[in-house]
Amino acid sequence: MRLSQLEVGETGIVKEFTDLEMSVKLMEMGCLPGEEVRIERIAPLGDPIAINVAGYQLSLRKREAYTIVLQ
Amino acid sequence: MKADIRVALVGNPNTGKSTLFNVLTGLNQKIGNFPGVTVDKKVGYTTLPDGRVAEIIDLPGTYSIYPKSQDESIVFSVLADKHNAHTPDLVVVILDASNLKRNLLLYSQVADLKIPVIVALNMMDMAKKADIIIDVDLFAKKLGVPVVPISARKNEGTAALKNAISFANKFAFQEDSIDVSTIAPELVEAIGRELNIDNPYLALQLAHQHETLKFLTPEQSDRVEELEKEHSFNSQKAQGAETIARYAFINDLLYDTVKKTVNAQDETHSNKIDKILTHKVFGFVIFFAILMFMFQAIFSWSLYPMELIADAFVWVQDSLHHVLPPGPLTSLLVDGIIAGLSGVMVFIPQIAILFAFISILEDTGYMSRVTFMMDKLMRKVGLNGKSVVPLIGGFACAVPSIMGTRTIENWKDRMITIMVTPLVTCSARLPIYTLLIALVVPNRNVWWLFNMQGLALTGMYVFSLISAIVVAWVFKFILKGKERGYFIMELPVYRMPRWNNVVFSMYDRSKAFVFQAGKVIIAISIILWVLASYGPGDRFAKIDAQFNKPQYTQHMTPDSLSRTISSAKLENSYAGVLGHSIEPVIRPLGFDWKIGIALITSFAAREVFVGTMATIYSVNGSAEKMQSVYEKMKQAKNPDTGQPVFTLAVAFSLMMFYAFAMQCASTVAIVFRETKNWRWPAIQFAYMTVLAYAASFIAYTLLK
């Protein structure tokens, strides 16, 4: 299951990343393996998405959310 | 000012770092440059309780000392360079108490560089509201540094922070966060030995960032590169391992110092606002409503102060002409330098208002929602959600907008944004459009409510946006970007704007505009003055002699005689000769030599057009007397055909030329400053000139 496959309001727990470069940037922002993430909303045009992670809101593109594997 | 201690402010974006900086330094601040880079350096001074003066450097907000953009790269280079005029004696790391976990990553990196550190724990009130309880004493004990709870917005705790700064240690006593040597032990050891660095984390950072660090010699950088190869160092893997280790340390740190009572996931204030502001329909409606209001404000609110400034300059010019003896020096000062200066100063109200709006939109957190909503659309044409802000700013002035592109991390996205921003109808084009439209478009209402002149003007604005988007789309295929674009961005919670920040931003940007663009405009207006005031050979003397004959002096009023003379002199000046020489080239666009002069002078700055037209059609008094320019231009006849010069075709051809041509020396200068390569302004100048010529030609041919 990938983060990009969740619907609005659903939660998941980060397991690993499929892209090294992206993982470094995501982890810096507190999106680490073991963290709970929730889809907050999707932009009006369908991309990017906003997630809740580590107590704040982070926006990322769907393509980037696809590199996050959930448990 | 001489400072006794140098303090750097470091922190995540949206933590209130700038607010703290403003509170600490007040108006006692200035913007400079870090050597060799274009990042603004904000420095201010504050007096400590013990009477010493502290210099405060506000470093750009960043999530980590691994830089993602040009602005962020300055943070590490300032902290790491020990032999620099900016090297801080002390770092104040500002942490958002309501989001400690992510904020502590940057703290732990800075702390490991072993510079004396103080922690300012900001937004304690917000944390309390979110039921987060922090054991500050235990927290300070575990970190091994002073921790001062503050509320920068309410100006609480800043006295205690100043006190802590005055008592700060000369040595770093903070606890180690992670064992750096486990990440790349041999490499860290080797770099430390060869470059004589005793801090393992600094050595590791040099391995990561040596290519961009200015303080390393090329030999040192090459040696680090060799060592990396020798020890097969993978920068991204090492960074990943380090980040995971740091978060393990942070979790351990927060385990017994921070308690968060879990509340039943009630919907936050920010979430409710977002439901409306990023709504599928209302989101865009509100965004466009805000934009409309902004333009309206930029134009209507600035009207009165702009008139005031223009009038003040006219008054100064008039009085100087009366006071000073006539001669070339007076003329250079009054008609060259002061006239040029007034051309810069009149834009201050518009720039100040634009930046007031931009800083309010940024401060409240709305700008990041605009970015969020527009990203998909902008990406299609090779731009980025973050390009929206500079493009909107371009409606006022391209110069500060191009400076604002620094927030775009991706090189290609940033370059394309810089390349197309000058196409957006800036405020300098407005007087030209209004003058030309008034000349050829009837002042009539169509469909009851729309004024035709207003429609034509709106059309020019919409046209400029469309052309910027099309050109961006073309550049998307031409430019080759090395890095991948990504869009990982914090959406900060909505907050009330901090009004003193808004005022500071208006002041800062206006000042930067006057000093940066002002220099260029004044230099060019001096050149223009010389070109328009002198002619080749004895042409001017001949004109004087010719008009000194009785048939002129007796039958013409002195006023109209002096106008005829100055008009004749302009035609024979270097500028006039230039105008005549380019006439064959601009003939297909419907322009004569007089318009040619205005085109040439406008390459310094578009707003010069009206002034030049005023001089060419020998209007008395100031260039601000638009009505008289209008009447002269309306009556202007082509000497060969007897038809009016400014027909619909000529006026629209001219507007097309001004829509596309890069007629702004300040923009050329700022693009060079931002890209640090003459190739970019050269490409921009070339493509815009070609487009201008083509669009003008098409407009003239179709409407003729």
Summarize pLDDT for B514-539 with one digit per residue, the tens.
776 677 667 767 777 788 788 887 88
Question: Tens digit of pLDDT for each residue in B162-221?
Answer: 999 998 888 888 888 888 878 888 888 888 888 888 888 988 998 898 888 888 888 888
Residues in A closer than 8 angstroms to B488, CB to CB, are 25-26, 29, 58-60, 64
Position B170 scores a pLDDT of 81
- pLDDT, mean of residues B286-296: 81
The answer to whether residue B622 scores a pLDDT higher than 50 is: no
Q: What's the rounded Cα separation, in Å, for the pair B402 and B400?
A: 5
Which residues make Cβ contacts (< 8 Å) with residue B658, sequence separation at least 6?
B429, B432, B433, B602, B606, B609, B692
Position A26 scores a pLDDT of 92
Buried b / exposed e across B602-617, counting CB within 10 Å, b at 16+?
A: bbbbbbbbbbbbbbbb
Position B63 scores a pLDDT of 92
Chain B contact present for A19, CB below 8 A:
no
Prior bond of A48 cis (ω within 30°)? yes
Chain A contact present for B249, CB below 8 A:
no
| H-only helix segments in B210-347 | 218-230, 235-255, 269-277, 282-323, 328-331, 339-345
CA-closest candidate to residue B53, choices B44, B62, B64:
B44
Output DSSP code: residue B326: S
- pLDDT, mean of residues B418-431: 89
Q: DSSP string spanning B510-572?
A: HHHHHHHHHHHHHHHHHHHHHHHH--STTHHHHHHHHHTSHHHHTTS-HHHHHHHHHHHHHHH
Are A57 and B491 an interchain contact pair (Cβ–Cβ within 8 Å)? yes
Q: DSSP string spanning B646-696?
A: --HHHHHHHHHHHHHS--BHHHHHHHHHHH--THHHHHHHHHHHHHHHHHH
Strand-by-strand arrangement of the A68-70 sheet? A68-70, A11-17, A36-42, A49-53, A56-60, B489-491
Chain B contact present for A11, CB below 8 A:
no
Q: What's the rounded Cα separation, in Å, for the pair B337 and B343?
A: 10
Question: Tens digit of pLDDT for each residue in B45-99?
Answer: 999 999 999 999 999 889 999 988 777 888 898 888 877 777 899 999 999 988 8
Are A50 and B491 an interchain contact pair (Cβ–Cβ within 8 Å)? yes
Residues in A closer than 8 angstroms to B368, CB to CB, are 59
The answer to whether residue B628 scores a pLDDT higher than 70 is: no
Identify the bridge partners of residue B467 per DSSP, sorted by sequence position: none
Are B490 and A29 an interchain contact pair (Cβ–Cβ within 8 Å)? yes
Residues in B closer than 8 angstroms to A19, CB to CB, are none
Among B98, B102, B240, the residue with its CB nearest the CB of A24 is B240
Position B218 scores a pLDDT of 87
Q: What's the rounded Cα separation, in Å, for the pair B663 and B691?
A: 13
- pLDDT, mean of residues B234-243: 90
List domains and CATH numbers for chain A.
3-70 (2.30.30.90)
CA-closest candidate to residue B694, choices B343, B214, B702, B386:
B702
Q: Testing the interface with A: which of B372, B373, B378, B483 to mutate, by most A Cβ within 10 A?
A: B372
Position B233 scores a pLDDT of 87
Q: What's the rounded Cα separation, in Å, for the pair B28 and B44?
A: 6
Element (H, E) at B704: none
Position B93 scores a pLDDT of 95
Are B488 and A45 an interchain contact pair (Cβ–Cβ within 8 Å)? no
Are A44 and B284 an interchain contact pair (Cβ–Cβ within 8 Å)? yes
Are B489 and A59 an interchain contact pair (Cβ–Cβ within 8 Å)? yes
Question: Residue B239 has which token pair?
Answer: 């960074």
The percent of residues in chain B predicted with pLDDT above 70, rounded, is 93
> Which has the minimum average pLDDT: B114-123, B462-471, B574-583, B611-620?
B611-620
Position B263 scores a pLDDT of 57
Note the ipTM here: 0.94
Chain B contact present for A43, CB below 8 A:
yes
Phi, psi for B537 (deg, rounded to 5): 60, -140
Q: How high is the mean pLDDT of chain B?
A: 84
Question: Tens digit of pLDDT for each residue in B318-338?
Answer: 888 888 888 888 878 877 777
Q: How far is A35 from chain B (nearest CA, A)?
A: 11
Which residues make Cβ contacts (< 8 Å) with residue B679, sequence separation at least 6?
none
Position B106 scores a pLDDT of 95
Question: Tens digit of pLDDT for each residue in B491-502?
Answer: 988 888 888 888
Give the pLDDT band (50/70/90) at residue B6: very high
> Which has the minimum average pLDDT: B48-62, B405-419, B438-452?
B438-452
Instruction: Judge whether B56 and B9 are in contact, CB under 8 Å.
Output: yes
Give the pLDDT band (50/70/90) at residue B550: confident
Q: State the distance between the two ends of chain A, measured CA to CA, in whole angstroms.
A: 7
Enumerate the domain spans of chain B.
5-166, 180-260, 520-703
CA-closest candidate to residue B452, choices B465, B462, B437:
B437
Position B392 scores a pLDDT of 82
Among A27, A47, A54, the residue with its CB nearest the CB of B243 is A27
Question: Does the global pTM surpass 0.90?
Answer: no
- pLDDT, mean of residues B635-657: 84
Q: How far is B68 from chain A (nearest CA, A)?
A: 9
> Which has the minimum average pLDDT: A5-19, B175-189, B435-449?
B435-449
Residues in A closer than 8 angstroms to B244, CB to CB, are 27, 32-33
Which residues make Cβ contacts (< 8 Å) with residue B23, sequence separation at least 6?
B152, B155, B158
Position B624 scores a pLDDT of 46
What CATH superfamily is the domain B5-166? P-loop containing nucleotide triphosphate hydrolases (3.40.50.300)
Q: How far is A31 from chain B (nearest CA, A)?
A: 9
Identify the bridge partners of residue B5 per DSSP, sorted by sequence position: B54
Question: Residue B604 has which token pair?
Answer: 């310094």
Element (H, E) at B335: none
Position B336 scores a pLDDT of 74
Cα A24 from chain centre:
13
Q: What's the rounded Cα separation, in Å, for the pair B69 and B62?
A: 9
Q: How far is B409 from chain A (nearest CA, A)?
A: 12
Are B105 and A57 an interchain contact pair (Cβ–Cβ within 8 Å)? no
Among A21, A29, A46, the residue with its CB nearest the CB of B376 is A46
Strands (E), B353-460: 445-446, 450-451
Question: Tens digit of pLDDT for each residue in B348-396?
Answer: 887 788 778 888 888 888 988 988 998 998 888 888 888 888 888 888 7
Element (H, E) at A5: none
Nearest residue of B to residue A65, measured between CA atoms: B488
> Which has the minimum average pLDDT: A7-16, B470-479, B585-594, B636-645?
B636-645
The percent of residues in chain B predicted with pLDDT above 90, rounded, is 24
Amino acid at B634: K
Amino acid at B609: F
Q: What's the rounded Cα separation, in Å, for the pair B106 and B120?
A: 13
Question: Tens digit of pLDDT for each residue in B246-284?
Answer: 999 999 999 888 887 665 455 678 888 998 999 889 999
Give the pLDDT band (50/70/90) at residue B620: very low
Q: Which residue has the tokens 């750009």?
A: B60
Provide the greatest CA pair distance for chain B. 101
Chain A contact present for B102, CB below 8 A:
yes
Give the pLDDT band (50/70/90) at residue B33: low
Question: Residue B284 has which token pair?
Answer: 């865009």
Strand-by-strand arrangement of the B147-149 sheet? B29-33, B40-47, B53-58, B5-11, B90-96, B117-122, B147-149
Q: What's the rounded Cα separation, in Å, for the pair B358 and B220?
A: 43
Chain B contact present for A46, CB below 8 A:
yes
Are A28 and B63 an interchain contact pair (Cβ–Cβ within 8 Å)? yes
- pLDDT, mean of residues A48-66: 91
> Which has the minimum average pLDDT: B5-9, B136-140, B407-411?
B407-411
The answer to whether residue B421 scores a pLDDT higher than 90 is: yes
Which residue would you say has higher pLDDT here, B331 or A2? A2
Position B623 scores a pLDDT of 44
